[in-house]
């Protein structure tokens, strides 16, 4: 999958001549970058001379990855394995995926095995990988395949009917596992072809992407379509990278018009192609999270004896659908402690019937700290508090009965918590509370007399 690109700073943009200024300063004899993306197709001769060196390079230099070792003699098993790998690789680095993939395939080696899993089991296996909707799509797809007879789809048209499988993933599975002669286009392929043809367009331009698909279809080798598609993606991932291309070792460098332009004009760089995309501005959100710990032993002050934590299940649609988390509320912006507590109190009252002083007593309530969790499109600041309470009367009957459309919740102990498929942000919250309480019990000599302060950290990651 394609990697991130560094944006130029403002000073560099001001000093660097525009593409139009570059063109006006060149002699007419020098080759101009292609601006008409209709001119993206390759000649028949060039197609033939590019296929062999690219495949030879791939045979010698490709990375040894577990999904590439799947037995070609078992196409259905191979198709399932490629499907799992491609879904995991969406928006996630290869190095991160490898161990997740091994564990997944060990537990669910076939689509039939996966179809018998529960969503909670799948989320548990996926925990920490991010973009959890991908896991749900795999499970839903497996159940659909088994429901319709259990035969794994072999063509792009059949694969596109499976939830979560788009044009790219369908092409990858069909070509790699079943030798269908179809192209595959991801960010790596767009970058490679844009440089081969010296196209200075935004790589996300819909017209450019459409033309790249046509060019990729023209290039794909009919005798080894899967290997060729992997070779083109591997080239973009390892040599023709966004910021540091290794042109001297590229198997098709003599066909690269971006490289040719850079040799003709020192002001032109290979990395000018394709143009740098404009990054979408992240939305800033704020949330208050309350780790509610319920003491079960009446009349004891020992917090570590017997307690459970309240977890709520997110809605089945939307961000982090169906996953478990601590009770939380979205805030209108930065908020002080009293405002956050008012919001949390309202949530506990409306959703669980928990009323301070009325049906529970507060043993401990304190602010733990805050951190920033970064999604692809949201920068979420999370305020964390720890509320230890003891229920009054018959605690098991104090929570209001759940109606069909009400919030789903459960109480779990430490052991269950550690085995659940929780998101990285939920685990971060829990770890902050544990560390905060541990430091209160055993403060270091240097800070033993100082007042405990909430901690503030930044957490930047792929996804939640």
User: What pLDDT band is residue 53 in, cutting at 50, 70 and 90?
Assistant: very high
- State how far the alpha carbon of 33 is from the alpha carbons of 28, 203, 267, 406, in Å: 12, 15, 13, 59
Give the strand pairing for 283-295 and 378-391. Answer: parallel
User: What pLDDT band is residue 406 in, cutting at 50, 70 and 90?
Assistant: low
For residues 42 and 218, give the distance between their C-alpha atoms in angstroms, rounded to a whole number: 8
pLDDT, tens digit, 9 for 90 and up, residues 126-168? 988 988 899 999 999 999 999 999 999 999 999 999 999 999 9
For residues 298 and 396, give the distance between their C-alpha atoms in angstroms, rounded to a whole number: 13
User: What pLDDT band is residue 296 in, cutting at 50, 70 and 90?
Assistant: confident
366 is catalytic: no
CA atoms within 13 A of residue 350's CA, in its CB half-sphere? 11
Question: Of 7 and 354, which is predicted with more confidence?
Answer: 354
- State how far the alpha carbon of 446 is from the alpha carbons of 91, 224, 233, 433, 439, in Å: 44, 66, 54, 21, 12
Angle at Cα 348 formed by Cα 294 and Cα 292, nearest 5°?
A: 30
User: What pLDDT band is residue 18 in, cutting at 50, 70 and 90?
Assistant: very low
Flag whether the pTM goes above 0.85. no
- Could you tell me which of 256, 456, 306, 295 has the C-alpha nearest to residue 369? 456
Query: How many CB atoms neighbour CB 342 within 10 A?
Result: 13
pLDDT, tens digit, 9 for 90 and up, residues 412-455? 998 888 888 888 899 999 999 999 988 887 655 554 444 444 44
pLDDT at position 394, please? 55
User: What pLDDT band is residue 323 in, cutting at 50, 70 and 90?
Assistant: confident
Percentage of residues of the chain with pLDDT beyond 90: 66
Highest mean pLDDT among 305-314, 364-373, 418-427, 448-457: 364-373
Chain centroid, CA 250 distance in Å? 29
Which domains are assigned to the chain?
Answer: 44-272 (1.10.340.30), 283-396+406-440 (3.90.79.10)
- Could you tell me which of 371, 386, 390, 382 has the C-alpha nearest to residue 438? 386
- Could you tell me which of 236, 275, 229 has the C-alpha nearest to residue 2? 236
Q: Does 301 have pLDDT greater than 90?
A: no
Residues 6+ apart with CB under 8 A from 79: 152, 153, 154, 173, 177, 178
Chain-wide mean pLDDT for the chain? Answer: 85
Indicate which residue of 86, 180, 234, 257 is catalytic.
86
Please, where are the H alpha helices in 151-256?
A: 156-159, 167-178, 187-196, 206-219, 225-238
């Amino acid at each position: 999958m394609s990697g991130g690109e560094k944006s130029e700073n403002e000073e560099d943009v001001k000093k660097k001549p525009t593409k139009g200024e570059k063109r006006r300063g060149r002699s007419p004899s020098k080759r101009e970058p292609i601006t008409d993306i209709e001119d993206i197709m390759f000649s028949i001769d060039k197609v033939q001379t590019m296929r062999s060196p690219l495949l030879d390079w791939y045979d010698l230099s490709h990375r040894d990855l577990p999904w590439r070792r799947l037995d070609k003699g078992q196409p259905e098993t191979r198709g399932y394995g490629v499907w799992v790998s491609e879904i995991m690789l969406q928006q996630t680095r290869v190095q991160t995926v490898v161990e997740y993939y091994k564990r997944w395939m060990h537990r669910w080696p076939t689509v039939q095995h996966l179809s018998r899993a529960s969503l909670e089991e799948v989320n548990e296996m996926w925990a920490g990988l991010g973009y959890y909707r991908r896991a749900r799509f795999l499970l839903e797809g497996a159940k659909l395949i088994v429901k319709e007879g259990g035969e794994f789809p072999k063509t792009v048209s059949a694969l596109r009917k499976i939830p979560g499988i788009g044009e790219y993933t369908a092409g990858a599975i069909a070509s790699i596992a079943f030798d269908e002669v179809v192209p595959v286009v991801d960010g790596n392929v767009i970058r490679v072809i844009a440089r081969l043809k010296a196209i200075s367009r935004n790589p996300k331009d819909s017209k450019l992407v459409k033309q790249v698909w046509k060019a990729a279809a023209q290039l794909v080798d009919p005798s080894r379509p899967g290997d060729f598609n992997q070779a083109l993606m591997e080239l973009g991932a390892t040599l023709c990278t966004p910021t540091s291309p290794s042109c001297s070792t590229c198997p098709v460098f003599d066909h690269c018009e971006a490289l040719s332009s850079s040799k003709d004009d020192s002001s032109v760089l290979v990395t000018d192609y394709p143009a740098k995309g404009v990054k979408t501005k992240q939305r800033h959100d704020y949330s208050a999270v309350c780790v509610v710990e319920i003491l079960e032993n009446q009349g004891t002050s020992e917090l570590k004896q017997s307690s459970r934590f309240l977890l709520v299940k997110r809605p089945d649609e939307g961000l982090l659908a169906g996953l478990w988390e601590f009770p939380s509320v979205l805030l209108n912006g930065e908020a002080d402690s009293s405002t956050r507590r008012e919001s949390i109190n309202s949530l506990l009252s409306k959703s669980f019937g928990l009323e301070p002083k009325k049906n529970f007593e507060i043993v401990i309530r304190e602010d733990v700290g805050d951190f920033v969790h970064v999604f692809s499109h949201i920068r979420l600041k999370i305020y964390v508090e720890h509320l230890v309470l003891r229920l009054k009367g018959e605690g098991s009957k104090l929570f209001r009965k759940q109606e069909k459309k009400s919030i789903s919740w459960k109480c779990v102990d430490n052991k269950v918590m550690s085995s659940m498929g929780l998101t990285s942000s939920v685990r971060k919250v829990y770890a902050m509370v544990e560390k905060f309480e541990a430091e209160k019990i055993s403060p270091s000599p240097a800070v033993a007399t100082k007042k405990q302060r909430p901690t503030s950290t930044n957490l930047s990651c792929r996804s939640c």
